[in-house]
Structure 1
Amino acid sequence: MDTRDSKSREEEKRHVMGQRMPEDYEHPEPDEDQPEAKSPPSGMYRLFPIIIVLVLLSAVAFHYFGK
C-alpha cells in the first residue's frame, strides 16, 4: 500500500515557496494574541533549581555524616 503524499509540481512549488517566505510580523498567528503567550511565566519554576540543590546537598550530607 502506497502511503506517500502525491503532490503535483504546482502544489509542491507552492509548499516550498510557503516554507521560504519570511514570517509576517504585522499579522501574527492566532497564538500570538493569547494573553498567556504575552505574560511572563509565574509560579514555582524558580523554586525547582533551589529544591534540586537542597536535595543534592542533603544526599551528600547524609552520605558523609549519616554514619
Structure 2
Amino acid sequence: MDTRESKTPQEEYEHLREVRMPEDYEHPEPDAEQPEAKRPAKGWHWLVLGVAIAIGLFLTYRLLSVAWL
C-alpha cells in the first residue's frame, strides 16, 4: 500500500490510465505484480483438508467415547 501523500506526474498518469482502462472480462490475465496468481496450487489445500477431517474424526470419536461412559 502506498502511503505517500502525493504522486509524481508520471505516477498520476499511470494511475488514471489504469482506472480508465475497461477491464477485459473475456480474457482475464493475472497481474504482472502477482506472480503467485500465475502458479497453480501445489496441493496444500488437500493437506489442510485432510488434517481438518482427521481432527474432526478424532474429536467425534472422543465425544462419543465420553458419551458412552
TM-score when normalising by structure 1: 0.44
TM-score when normalising by structure 2: 0.44
The structure having more radius of gyration, on CA atoms, is: 1
